Structure 1
Amino acid sequence: MENLYNTSSILVLNRFEFSSENVFPAFLFATLSYMIILFCNIILILTIVLNKSMHQPMYLILLNLPINDLIGSSAFFLHSIDEILTNRKTMQYSACVTQAFFIHIYATGTVLILSAMAYDRYIAICWPLKYNTVMTYAHIMRIITVVWMSCLVLVGVLFFLLLRLPRCRSELTHPYCDNPSLLTLVCANTAINNIYGLLMVAISQVISNGMILYTYLQILVACFRSKRSDTKAKALQTCATHLAVFLLLECLGLFTIISYRIKNISPHLRRFMGVSTLIFPPTLNPIIYGLKTKEIREKVVHFFRNKILPS
């Protein structure tokens, strides 16, 4: 039986099949997408870090979102661009596990960070007189620490359960490495892995969806009770935009998870939805949560006018 196990450290990739004339457009699209994500998220990070006036609870929590987006997009794009350009058909198993680990950190981190941001806005709008008392620097650091430690523990256990299992297959067809695609290489009982994976998704979804839906509902109620019409319009626009981005992420992520358990689904649709999860949220997040914020937008414009394009 031991001879049936594949202990090779090399995996065979069968996921990007481009004709010779389509290689350059695919390479160009992937490179431009990654450059846009890098540019938008790095600008947001530098804007918050370099401006002391923005070292406030809301922005300190927001700072974690572009960092998390860079983790996920870099884990996907760096290898994908190299694979498209060189037409490489093999990958080290350790590199695949590393990519999968950071992609799961990104996915888990996104929902937890958005939940923390929703909590901050809830305190600021619904309990404005208590905001400075509740959202102290120490409390913010505890929230951020809990978010990242939760990601590391949840994802760490997931991959501990994966790496204990023997492999007997070596072909990957998914556009990037993740826990479900790595489980397809396993020739052992994966019931514990599947139960823990579903439990992990269920817990994170209940916490994030419950937190975000409750807080934004309370924010909308508080704003509509306000007598200022401009406050109502601004709140409705902000909440609607944030909820739209969150629901987009949820739909893409949940479809990708469910698609692994549906046998007759189109592999091309599964690949498209999986890649979309790593392209659209990291592109939209810095724009929706960052550049649409007035203070951040003003700081970015001021930076480009005075540092990049001085008169």
Structure 2
Amino acid sequence: MENYTYNSFTLLLEGLNVSEGSIYPVFLFLFFSYLFIMAANVSIAVLIFKDKSLHQPMYLLFCNLTLSDMFGNCIMVPRLLVDLLRPPSERLISYYECVVQAFTTHMFGTTSHTVLMIMAFDRYVAICNPLRYASIMTNKMLIKLTVSAWGVAFVLVGILLGLTIRLNRCRTLIMNPYCDNASLFKLSCEDVSINNIYGLTFTVVLFTASIGSIVLTYAKITVVCLTGKNKSLNSKALKTCSTHLVVYLIVVFNGMSIILLHRFPQYSDYRKLCIILFHIIPGSLNPIIYGVQSKEIKKFMSNFCKSKKILASL
């Protein structure tokens, strides 16, 4: 017979099912991935704000993506690293910390889509309305787009978790490496049909809006490039849009993989791994992809390295 503990404020995380021989390799992989994510994204953000030549809408909007990557990993990964070194029975977490972790996790997943949507709008204006770009993408518009991306995510996730924290809890085991909304409402013995309906609606609306806006945007960009005879414009469009599209496809592929694996309980270990990689992979690749593709960022880094060499030789 199942034991019930009502409204306990101390929960137990299941954690990762890792063999004893794999604990330290997995720990080192996650540790160095975390260090790289934080260092690379902080460096890109500081570089963009420091160099006036990078004070362009495309790069300023990209800063939202770096903030989202850092926000999504700063709470989840350190906790995961600590739990890897603990026995399963000692992976305790307070209910409030669990709610905060769930909030940051879902905010990260949602803003990954909303920020890429506003970045797609920027690329659309730059390529389809180049003469009006400066008058459309003003500082005021950048603020509106940024507030919209984070504001919509905050409201959607706030409602998602608001529906969950209203429930009484009768269980204490989180069947996941870290806390998320589904793990929290599964602690309740009450009717959670509203949570399931809103969660499904949330996911469908987010992915439909995200994929729909990207498809529509790139369809219009493709038409402009095919009908136009400006080779320079087409080359610039291909370069900037390919970067954005690669980042978007990584986010969508990771998100779809998690959703599909939820339908197959026998692959729960693969789902847990995929959830962790959903945080690690975009956070690691985004600064690399934009750093390599951006002529301005490469130029700044080249000049920075040259100045360091000159100072070292003096």
* Aligned counterparts, 1:1-311, within 5 A: 4=4, 6-87=6-87, 88-229=90-231, 231-260=233-262, 262-307=263-308, 310-311=311-312
1:91: Cα distance to partner?
Answer: 1.4
TM-aligned CA deviation for residue 5 of structure 1: 5.1
Tell me the alpha carbon deviations over residues 154-207 of structure 1, each in whole angstroms, 9 at most, x when there is no partner.
111111100000111111232221111222212111111111111122222222
Matched residue of 1:103: which SS? helix
Q: Which shows bigger deviation, 48-57 or 299-308?
A: 299-308
Q: 1:308 to 1:214 in 2, by over 3 A?
A: farther
Aligned residues: 308
Distance 1:207 1:100, change over 3 A: same
**1:309 and 1:233 mapped to 2: Cα distance?**
35
State the shift of 1:127 in Å: 0.3
What is the CA distance between 1:210 and its match in structure 2? 1.5
Q: Name the stretch that deviates more: 58-67 or 171-180.
A: 171-180
Is the 1:13–1:91 contact (alpha carbons within 8 Å) kept by the matching residues of 2? yes
Q: Which runs of 5+ in 1 are unaligned?
A: none
- State the secondary structure of the residue aligned to 1:176: coil
Amino-acid identity (%): 37
Query: Against the structure 1 CA distance between its residues 189 and 218, is the aligned structure 2 distance closer, same or farther, given a 3 Å change threshold?
Result: same
Unaligned runs of 5+ in 2: none
Residues 293 and 10 of structure 1, relative CA distance in 2, 3 Å threshold: same
Deviation at 1:232, TM superposition (A): 3.6
Counterparts in 2 of 1:263 and 1:309: CA distance versus 1, 3 Å: farther
- Relative distance call for 1:178 and 1:110 in structure 2 (3 A) is same
**What is the aligned-residue RMSD (CA, Å)?**
2.1
Cα separation, partners in 2 of 1:268 and 1:140, compared to 1, 3 Å: same
| SS in structure 1 at match of 2:272 | helix
**By how many angstroms is 1:245 displaced?**
2.9
Q: Per-residue displacement from partner, 1:124-157 (whole Å, max 9, x unpaired)?
A: 1110011111111111111111111111111111
Letter in 1 for 2:84: I
Write out per-residue CA displacement over residues 37-81 of structure 1, whole angstroms, 9 at most, x where no aligned residue: 112211110111111222222222111110010001112211011
Cα deviation, residue 229, structure 1: 4.4
Tell me how far 1:113 sits from its aligned partner: 0.3
Amino acid at match of 2:81: I
Q: Distance in 2 between matches of 1:178 and 1:309?
A: 50
- Cα distance in 1 for partners of 2:308, 2:236 equals 31
TM-score scaled by structure 2? 0.90
**What code does the residue aligned with 1:80 have?**
L
